[in-house]
A = this chain, B = another copy of it.
Amino acid sequence: MPHSPEEKRRVLARVRRIRGQAEALERALEAGADCAPVLQQIAAIRGAVNGLMSEVMEAHIRETFGHAAGSDEQRQARVAEMTALVRSYLK
């Protein structure tokens, strides 16, 4: 998950960018960079992580609700799973 090749490609690109940002930050710290640019890099990583979480959540909504449920029971189970995810991660 996410299942569509296009979504998977997009999510993986985001994760690799975050890994690259962490590597750049590691080099900056080893080189003794100043505090202000270091904080700026960390804030950029934080923004990228939030964007990734949103992207994965959106993909999950599309997969979960993008086709009709087979039964009312299945529909309610999907809703319960999604509200639990929102409760856990909308912070």
Residues of chain A whose beta carbon lies under 8 Å from any beta carbon of chain B: 1-3, 8, 11-12, 15-16, 18-19, 22-23, 25-26, 29-30, 32-36, 38-39, 42-43, 45-46, 49-50, 52-54, 56-63, 65-69, 72, 75-76, 78-79, 81-83, 85-91
Contacts and interface: CB of A to CB of B under 8 A. Distances in A.
Contacts of A30: 12
A66 B38 contact: no
Name the prevailing secondary structure of the A interface residues: helix
A75 B79 contact: no
This chain's copy number in the assembly: 4
A22 B85 CA distance: 21
Nearest to A37: B1
